[in-house]
Amino acid sequence: MDVVIIDTSCANLSSLKFGVERLGYKVAVTDNAEQIKNADKVFLPGVGAAGAAMRIIKEKGIPEIVQGLQQPVLGICLGMQLMTEHSAEGNVDCLGLIPGTVKPIKAEGLRLPHMGWNTLTEIKDSPLFEGINQQDYFYFVHSLCVAPSEYTLATCDYGQTFSASIHHKNFYGVQFHPERSGKSGARVIQNFLEMKQ
């Protein structure tokens, strides 16, 4: 199986690469259009600000590549947020792969960013979350979020309820970092890699 992590130049790629390799898969980190298009599974990672990230990936021609993909794609953290239509962070249009917008978390006096371990409050039946339950902890680092909608696969609570995972067609996103979430995160990565196209 050909597994690709898109080199967005705005993510900690080594920890995700190691997380995939630890499960026994070979993985390439690349921004090469043909390699991405020919992959069986594609990861879209990202950290930092949406405006800067969109600027960088536009310079690399990544939006057009990702928008044309038919195979399963998993966006992680900022990568998930970039899959939506718009981010209030920098007032920037995103990739438009999954309906929704990104807005600041209403933390109600809680510290931001939402950083650390948290559980999922609701999980829909999905191959991505097979074997995962509401007692499982995942690692989050973010100050913005996507509100729950019909495209939400899982939610989390921190000041408000937000989408911990979203999905539309072949595009999946997780707000948490599965590569930093121990056995539960490894299971999500494994589920994604074993997902049928």
What local confidence, expressed as pLDDT, does residue 48 receive?
86
% of the chain at pLDDT higher than 90: 92
14: left (phi over 0), alpha (psi -120 to 50) or beta: alpha
Report whether pLDDT(40) > 90: yes
Could you report the per-residue pLDDT of 72-84, keeping only the tens digit for each?
999 999 999 999 9
Cα separation, 153 vs 40, in Å, equals 22
Residues in a beta bridge with 43: 5, 74
Q: Tell me, what amino acid is at 96?
A: G
CB 71 within 8 A of CB 121: no
Q: Are 174 and 75 in contact (CB under 8 A)?
A: yes
Cα Rg of the chain, angstroms: 15
CA angle 14/168/100 to nearest 5° reads 90
Structure-block tokens of residue 57: 């990936």
Give the per-residue pLDDT at 10. Answer: 77
Q: What is the CATH number of the domain that holds 86?
A: 3.40.50.880
Report how many domains make up the chain: 1
Inter-residue contact 29 to 53 (CB < 8 Å): no
Query: For residue 91, which of 142, 54, 66, 56 has the smallest C-alpha distance?
Result: 54
Query: Catalytic site residues?
Result: 77, 177, 179
Instruction: Give the highest mean pLDDT range of 2-16, 66-80, 100-114.
Output: 66-80
Identify the pLDDT of residue 146: 98
pLDDT of 150 > 90? The answer is yes
- Residue 181: give the domain boundaries: 3-194
Average pLDDT, the chain: 96
The whole-number average pLDDT for the span 62-79 is 98
What is the SS3 assignment for 193?
Answer: helix
Cα(86)–Cα(175) distance, rounded to whole angstroms? 16
